[in-house]
Amino acid sequence: MKIKITHEDIDNSLEYFEERQFSDSSEKEILSNFPEIWSYLTSSQFKVLSDDEYMILTFDILVILKILNDKLGDIQDITPDKIELFETKNWDNLEKLGNISLEEKMDKIFGKEYSELTDFIISSYTDEEGDDEIISLPAREIIFVTAKTIIDCFNE
């Protein structure tokens, strides 16, 4: 089953966090439904990110998880093996695309059905003038691959 994520879904998720002033309790409320994903996000592989980059990653993933929680209600089990399988596949797919811009790679990896989600993720690290915030290209790749990995776990 392919889960569709619309602009409205993203807005509703953002409203949820804004109403709760993006508090620790709102994060915990969402993450408690996804213990394996929380474990994945706190694994040592993400230590390469700066604090700001990790904050952007966490924010993007929380928005996605809120959408998935709203759409699926009763959440299926996500295993570390499933996460690792999709993460490896997504890194391989990213590398196979070669020397094109990251945004083009993400459009190809996510596909048209996730164009609004791709735009949201790009906007999370872009300032109002459209310039990239101080976030490295490897961090942007990590954010995209992590988001795609999580979505893939639920689209199986």
What's the pLDDT band for 132 if we cut at 50, 70, 90? low
pLDDT digits (tens, 9 = 90+) for 47-87: 999 999 999 999 999 999 999 888 887 666 789 999 999 99
Pair 90, 145: CB distance under 8 Å: yes
Q: How confident is the model at residue 127 (pLDDT cuts 50, 70, 90)?
A: low
Confidence of residue 133 (pLDDT cuts 50, 70, 90): low
**Residue closest to 57 by CA, chosen among 131, 129, 148, 127:** 148
- Partners of 126 in the β-ladder: 132
More reliable by pLDDT, 155 or 80:
80
Say how many Å lie between the first and final Cα of the chain, rounded: 7
Q: What is the pLDDT of residues 103-126, one digit of tens each?
A: 899 888 988 888 899 999 988 887
Average pLDDT, the chain: 86
Sketch the domain layout of the chain as residue ranges.
7-155
Residue 72's CB is within 10 A of a number of other CB atoms, namely: 13
- Report DSSP letters for the chain, one per residue: -PPP--HHHHHHHHHHHHHTTT-HHHHHHHHTT-HHHHHHHTSGGGGGS-HHHHHHHHHHHHHHHHHHHHHHSSPPP--HHHHHHHHHHHHHHHHHT-SS-HHHHHHHHH-GGGHHHHHHHHHHTB-TTS-B-S--HHHHHHHHHHHHHHHHHHH-
Which residues fall within 8 angstroms of residue 63, CB to CB, at 6 or more apart? 10, 13, 14, 17, 120
Q: For residue 131, name the pLDDT band (cuts at 50, 70, 90).
A: low
Q: Which residue has the higher pLDDT, 128 or 117?
A: 117
The pLDDT of residue 113 is 83
